[in-house]
Amino acid sequence: MLSFTLRRLASVVGVVLFLALAVFALGKVGNADPVRTYIGANASAEQVEQARAELGLDDPLLTQFWNFLTGAVQGDLGISLSTKHAIADDLSTRLPATLELAGWALGFAVILAVVLAAVAALGGKVAAVLRFVFFSAASAPAFLVAMLGVLVFYQAWGLLPASGRTSYGVYDDSTGFYVIDGLLHASPLYAADAIGHLILPAVAAGLAPGVALARVLSDGLGASMSSPFARTARAMGESETTILRRHGLRNASSPALSMLAVQAGLMVSSLVVVEQVFAWNGLGTYLANAIAAGDFNAIAAVSLILGVVYVVLNALVEVALAAVDPRVRLG
């Protein structure tokens, strides 16, 4: 297991290096002049040369890439061409916001998948109704689910907030994860309010991945529940629920974990849209603003971060899959 984990770690490093090279190269083949974005279109020739030197654009390409790579490793993502601030400072509160939302969306997706697959395995009319409702909802794009959630749960019923991360202020020593902040400061109201703000965007981002995961898990459970070991367990007097919990879920988890890696990546990309709908001050909102301003430094930084998150998620899922199914690491 250790050897398998180390090999996956080495592959993560290789993929991240290639991703960094690709992001850097895209910035060099574009038609936009980063200097003009940084100082304005009406700047003088002297100001352009000064800004070019300040941004390190006079250095050879290999030097620029090395500076970009080593800076990223050290947490220095460069200067935003639009805000004129260090990108790392701009993202200091936005990255935790996106990670918190992504974690809740992924948790919702996994719980939804397990519940739907378990209900489907047990059968009955309730299972058919649930499958129809959730599969129909998952066929809609994330932004449409988000807007419907706002219309129903905020505007019509007034049950959940429709924008922002909290109705209160931010603690001076905030971790950036508002639910954790509420728990650390022994404030259940603050934590509950943060959870209330998380529900709609997390459901909008996690619904489609959860249903897709449920389909794969349901197929695996169907095969497991009709297998010889399940029939043997029934003959020994175990209930269907016990067989499902002890044997079915574990044996059906391998293909579901593989699907989870793919769906987690798709969910991260959908957060860009979901954050716009809910005015969520995360990486998605920052990326959208950077694209509108032509700020490629910020675009490259966010793209690299999202790419690293996707690669790391896939690696973690592969390690989890290897822990569950020895055939993966032996292969």
Closest CA relative to residue 286, chosen from 95, 112, 153, 41: 95
Pair 289, 275: CB distance under 8 Å: no
Q: Which two tokens stand for residue 15?
A: 């993929």
Which has the minimum average pLDDT: 65-74, 84-93, 125-134? 125-134
For residue 177, the model assigns a pLDDT of: 96
Rounded average pLDDT over 132-147: 82
Write the DSSP symbol of residue 125. Answer: H
- In this prediction, residue 97 has a pLDDT band, given cuts at 50, 70 and 90, of very high
Residue scoring higher pLDDT (140 or 68): 68
User: 182 pLDDT exceeds 90?
Assistant: yes
User: 282 pLDDT exceeds 70?
Assistant: yes
For residue 31, the model assigns a pLDDT of: 64
From residue 77, alpha-carbon distances to 15, 29, 288, 300 in Å are 19, 20, 18, 9
User: 100 pLDDT exceeds 80?
Assistant: yes
- In this prediction, residue 212 has a pLDDT band, given cuts at 50, 70 and 90, of confident
User: 127 pLDDT exceeds 80?
Assistant: no
Pair 259, 211: CB distance under 8 Å: no
Continuous segment of H or E residues that includes residue 221: helix 188-225
Rounded to the nearest 10 degrees, how much is the dihedral formed by the CA atoms of 227, 232, 235, 238? -90
Query: What is the percentage of the chain residues whose pLDDT exceeds 90?
Result: 34
Numbered ranges of CATH 1.10.3720 in the chain: 94-280
For residue 30, the model assigns a pLDDT of: 66
Q: Spell out a b/e string for 257-294, using b for 16 or more CB atoms within 10 Å of the CB, else e.
A: bbbbbbbbbebbebbbbbbbbbebebbbbbbebbeeeb
Quick: pLDDT tens for 22-75: 988 887 776 667 887 788 777 788 888 888 888 888 889 899 999 999 999 898
Sign of CA pseudo-dihedral 45, 47, 50, 55: negative
Pair 131, 120: CB distance under 8 Å: yes
Residue 157, burial from CB neighbour count under 10 angstroms (0-12, 13-18, 19+): exposed
Distance CA 69, CA 21 (A): 8
Quick: pLDDT tens for 223-273: 777 777 777 877 888 777 777 777 677 777 777 777 777 788 778 878 889
Rounded average pLDDT over 310-331: 72
Continuous segment of H or E residues that includes residue 129: helix 125-138
Query: What is the percentage of the chain residues whose pLDDT exceeds 70?
Result: 93
User: 219 pLDDT exceeds 70?
Assistant: yes
Which has the minimum average pLDDT: 75-79, 149-153, 189-193, 214-218? 214-218
Residue scoring higher pLDDT (229 or 122): 229
- In this prediction, residue 325 has a pLDDT band, given cuts at 50, 70 and 90, of low
**CATH 1.10.287 given to domain 94-280:** no
Q: Which two tokens stand for residue 328?
A: 């993966």
- In this prediction, residue 8 has a pLDDT band, given cuts at 50, 70 and 90, of confident
Distance CA 84, CA 51 (A): 12
Rounded average pLDDT over 119-135: 73
Q: Which residues contact 190 (CB under 8 A, 6 or more apart)?
A: 166, 168, 178, 181, 182
For residue 119, the model assigns a pLDDT of: 79
Residue scoring higher pLDDT (326 or 241): 241
User: 138 pLDDT exceeds 60?
Assistant: yes
For residue 255, the model assigns a pLDDT of: 74
Pair 263, 110: CB distance under 8 Å: no
Distance CA 132, CA 297 (A): 45
- In this prediction, residue 156 has a pLDDT band, given cuts at 50, 70 and 90, of very high
Distance CA 138, CA 20 (A): 33
Highest mean pLDDT among 34-38, 151-155, 288-292: 151-155
Tell me what the pLDDT averaged over the chain comes to.
Answer: 85
Distance CA 301, CA 303 (A): 5
